């Protein structure tokens, strides 16, 4: 991940005027990487959408018709 970040952002978009420019560019890159980057491996959707869909699914306990146990 660090190598990709350096190659795609730091080396290609410079030279940088200051640390603030690098920080803002990093925030924009992370937003793109998690929310807009399309991944073929997970169905041509962004990683954040895939994660949201994953957590929307019923848990295996509910699917099996079991009652969750309590440790209290």
Band the pLDDT of 69: cuts 50, 70, 90: low
Give residue 45's domain range: 2-63
Is there a domain that residue 72 lies in?
Answer: no
Is there a domain that residue 44 lies in?
Answer: yes
Interval 18-59: pLDDT, tens: 999 999 999 999 999 999 999 999 999 999 999 999 888 866
Cβ-contact 32, 26 below 8 angstroms? no
Domain count, the chain: 1
Is there a domain that residue 69 lies in?
Answer: no
Is there a domain that residue 13 lies in?
Answer: yes
Structure pTM? 0.65
Band the pLDDT of 6: cuts 50, 70, 90: confident
Three-state DSSP at 15 gives coil
């Amino acid at each position: 991940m660090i190598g990709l970040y350096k190659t795609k952002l730091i080396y290609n978009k410079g030279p940088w005027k200051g640390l603030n420019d690098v920080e803002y560019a990093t925030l924009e890159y992370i937003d793109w990487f998690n929310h807009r980057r399309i991944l073929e491996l997970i169905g041509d959707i962004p990683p954040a959408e895939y994660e949201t869909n994953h957590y929307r699914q019923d848990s295996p306990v509910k699917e099996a018709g079991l009652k969750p146990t309590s440790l209290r």
